[in-house]
Amino acid sequence: MTEKKRGKGFGILVTFVTMFLFWLLLSGFFDAFHITAGIICSAIVALISHDLFMKEGGLARDKLFKLLLYIPWELWQIVLANFDVAYRVLHPKMPIDPRIIEFETTLRSDFALVTMANSITLTPGTVTILVEPEKGKFWVHALAQAPADALLVDKTMQTKVAEVYGEW
């Protein structure tokens, strides 16, 4: 067996164990059905995404640590955006000015592009419509100018995703 295949198998195993333990932690059910479902789902996730946690030299600790720091920041952005959308909907003048914006990023890896697209869509008031991976181009529907400016001018989300995946 070559080193590369052995490393890939180890990466899949580490990812499977991590996903299965996370499944057990979140499900709270320890009957045969739930454990079997957890094993199957964890195996599928491990086969598809083992390279998120692993790289040729071993565990991608830096990437994983940065991703774990990014998640609370994204959750806070979701909370803030919820308040913004609620304000716009409940305000008597409904300051809603929908628009479709288009912008390019420096992001190129599949994981970085998917993380960015999902982060935009998870944040209320914005939805990723299309991503062109070759150019790092995004088309996003924004509820108003402020959410659009956060993506076009501020670019904090793009910067944070780039830091996670080392693409700055």
Give the up-direction half-sphere exposure of residue 104: CA atoms within 13 A in the CB hemisphere. 3
Map out the domains of the chain as residue ranges: 3-59, 62-165
Distances in Å between the Cα of 123 and the Cα atoms of 5, 23, 82, 120 are 39, 25, 8, 5
Q: How far apart are CA 110 and CA 28, in angstroms?
A: 32
pTM over 0.75: no
Rg (CA), the chain: 19
List the structure tokens of 126. Answer: 């914005």
State pLDDT tens for residues 152-161. Answer: 999 999 999 9
Q: How far apart are CA 10 and CA 7, in angstroms?
A: 5
State pLDDT tens for residues 87-111. Answer: 999 999 999 999 999 999 999 988 8
